[in-house]
């Protein structure tokens, strides 16, 4: 089995059939509403992984002053610095690799979901060849809430997708200090982190906009829903971090 066949069998086809199933349930067969529901269902299923990653980021922000002090104290001994950092992580229950593991698990699911809303609605129809034998093609309505045809491109949804992406990243990444305030105080690693933070905060929303405006409205509708879910989760973690289960 090739990688493409594996991806289709394990990720794409189950999600596509789930979309068709949701379409049969939502009022009037509104595919736009079905996209929102399916996105929320998938993001909800992945919530434990996302929650752990967000909690780790919040903890890292809280102990950032301690991390800086450790780096200054052991600036001449990289081995001792690494040992002290690992002890600090252990003290606060942080697994520095948890974010990577979470992303690796979520990434193929999110890509498959994106593919479903793009290819699965190709030509403004549902593709019967990808359906399981126990699922039948429903009658569908592509006019979202009777207002927007999700088969067509939408400037409004593209803008909303980019804006929601900006807000989501701004909540996820700590603010980057102005260069004049941090000049001479940043290590090479910190400079890379600062550069990545800037690109994620300002470049990625632009990429989201240009990608969204080039695809049917179903894609930015999915992106908006996913971003709003992440924003709500980030705000909830910030306000009730001590009360939420790890």
Which tens digit of pLDDT belongs to each residue from 20-30?
Answer: 899 999 988 89
Domain residues for the domain of 233 are 3-240
**Mean pLDDT of all residues in 55-68:** 73
DSSP string, 134-149: T--PPP-B-EETTTEE
Task: Write down the pLDDT at residue 182.
Answer: 45
Domain count, the chain: 1
Tell me the pLDDT tens digit for each residue of 69-100. 777 777 777 777 777 778 777 777 776 665 55
Q: Is 245 domain-assigned?
A: no
The whole-number pLDDT of residue 224 equals: 93
Q: What is the mean pLDDT of the chain?
A: 78
Burial (CB < 10 A; 0-12, 13-18, 19+), residue 98, is: middle
Gap between the Cα atoms of 64 and 175, Å rounded = 13
Q: Identify whether 246 is part of a domain.
A: no
The pTM for the full model equals 0.76
Residue 103: pLDDT over 90: no
What tokens does 14 get?
């189950």
Query: Which range, 40-44, 82-86, 176-180, has the best average confidence (pLDDT)?
Result: 40-44
Give the closest residue to 118 by CA, choosing from 217, 10, 207, 25.
217
CA atoms of 235 and 223, how far apart (whole Å): 18
């Amino acid at each position: 089995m090739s990688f493409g066949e594996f991806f289709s069998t394990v990720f794409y086809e189950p999600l596509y059939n789930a979309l068709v199933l949701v379409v049969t349930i939502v009022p009037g067969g509104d595919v736009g509403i079905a996209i929102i529901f399916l996105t929320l269902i998938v993001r909800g299923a992945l919530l434990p992984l996302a929650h752990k990653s967000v909690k780790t980021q919040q903890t890292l922000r809280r102990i950032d002053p301690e991390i800086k002090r450790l780096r200054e104290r052991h600036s001449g001994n990289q081995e001792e610095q690494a040992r002290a950092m690992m002890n600090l992580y252990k003290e606060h229950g942080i697994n520095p690799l948890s974010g990577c593991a979470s992303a690796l698990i979520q990434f193929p699911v999110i890509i498959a979901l994106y593919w479903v809303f793009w290819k699965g609605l190709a030509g403004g129809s549902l593709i019967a060849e990808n359906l399981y034998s126990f699922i039948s093609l429903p009658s569908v309505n592509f006019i979202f809430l009777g207002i927007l045809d999700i088969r067509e491109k939408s400037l409004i949804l593209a803008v909303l997708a980019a804006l929601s992406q900006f807000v989501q990243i701004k909540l996820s990444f700590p603010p980057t200090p102005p260069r004049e305030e941090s000049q001479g105080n940043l290590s090479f690693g910190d400079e890379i982190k600062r550069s990545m933070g800037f690109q994620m905060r300002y470049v990625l929303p632009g990429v989201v906009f240009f990608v969204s405006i080039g695809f049917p409205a179903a894609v930015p509708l999915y992106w908006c829903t996913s971003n709003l879910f992440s924003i709500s989760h980030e705000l909830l973690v910030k306000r009730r971090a001590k009360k939420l289960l790890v």
